[in-house]
Amino acid sequence: MKEWKLIIEPKPLRGSLNMAVDEFLFQSLTGEPLTFVRFYQWERPTASMGRSQKIEKVIDLDFCQRNGIDVVRRITGGKLVLHHQEITYSVCSSDDETFSKTLAGSYKLISQALMAGLKKMGIEPSSADQAPPFYAKSDLPCFSHPAHDEIEVNGKKIIGSAQKRTGTKFLQHGSIPLAHDEDLLKAVSLLKEGPAEIRMTSLSEVLGWTVDFGWAVERLVEGFEEFFGVRFGPLKFMSADREKILEIQRQKYANNDWTLRGQVKE
């Protein structure tokens, strides 16, 4: 039985630090099969955009600055996500024997593992078909429509994910709302300037009670273990690891050259 490394963050972190940890894990992948799974939260509401998105088309930066909302740019693709009252997961792996050699193949497998975790919560999820043709080229937020193989419940998106892949190594992370605030999402994402549909839901809305981060993460971990047939061992960052993470944060995710224009060298 394979052992994967599990990181469950004990407290919410700033958006720039969360992104730095995920990139550190991605950089830590070697040629050997290795998998990290991480669950975390955000210290304050944070708007994250995909690597190639133009900030002026997807985020109301003035609104965010006035209202204490952080803004970060991911190294993954995908669309705008407002991280707030949620579980965020990340999977970093160089194990192509388990995950396949393609983005679509690994994406689908991770979705199936996440659905196994949702079922342990008493939720009956489904895998989405293709999104409407206009969605892929639009500047709409991630939770406007479920994309292919993303996860929905009763026709509404409950998990949105994005991936970066280099050869057999990949990072995939995604948002699982515990609760959601559509008005805030619209304000952050410029949707207040015109009519737009938000097809999202949350764990608490589906289950009808306030879902706790720890309770939900336990069941997601069980879903991953059972679906992939693995066991988890804890991963603790050493002092040298933490120094590297903080350097990535300083050089990149807390740097406007990356956040606003995406120009920091990898």
Q: Give the pLDDT of residue 127.
A: 87
* 3-state SS class at 78: coil
Q: Out of 114-118, 204-208, 257-261, which region has the weakest mean confidence (pLDDT)?
A: 257-261
The string of pLDDT tens digits covering residues 230-244 is 999 999 999 999 999
The string of pLDDT tens digits covering residues 143-163 is 555 566 789 998 899 999 999
For residue 101, what pLDDT band results from cuts at 50, 70 and 90? confident
Global pTM? Answer: 0.92
For residue 97, what pLDDT band results from cuts at 50, 70 and 90? very high
Asked whether the predicted pLDDT for residue 137 surpasses 70, the reply is: no
Task: Tell me the two tokens of residue 177.
Answer: 């709302």
Q: Exactly one of 142, 176, 191, 217 is catalytic; which is it?
A: 142
More confident residue, 176 or 187: 176
Q: Out of 3-7, 96-100, 110-114, which region has the weakest mean confidence (pLDDT)?
A: 96-100
CATH homologous superfamily, domain 3-259: Bira Bifunctional Protein; Domain 2 (3.30.930.10)
- Percent of the chain having pLDDT more than 90? 74
Q: Dihedral sign, CA of 66, 15, 12, 141?
A: positive
How confident is the model over 213-229, as a mean pLDDT? 98
On whether the CB atoms of residues 233 and 5 are closer than 8 A, the answer is yes
Query: Starting at the edge strand that comes first in sequence, how are the strands of the sheet with 3-8 ordered?
Result: 126-127, 151-153, 156-166, 169-177, 86-93, 35-40, 3-8, 231-234
Give CA–CA dist 42/14, Å, rounded. Answer: 6
Residue 88 CA, distance from chain mean position: 5
CA angle 210, 215, 218 (to 5 degrees): 150
Asked whether the predicted pLDDT for residue 70 surpasses 70, the reply is: yes
Element (H, E) at 232: strand 231-234
Asked whether the predicted pLDDT for residue 92 surpasses 80, the reply is: yes
Q: Give the pLDDT of residue 169.
A: 95
Told to judge if 142 belongs to the known catalytic residues of this protein, a careful annotator would answer yes
Please provide the average confidence, as pLDDT, over all residues in the chain: 90
Q: Give the pLDDT of residue 192.
A: 59
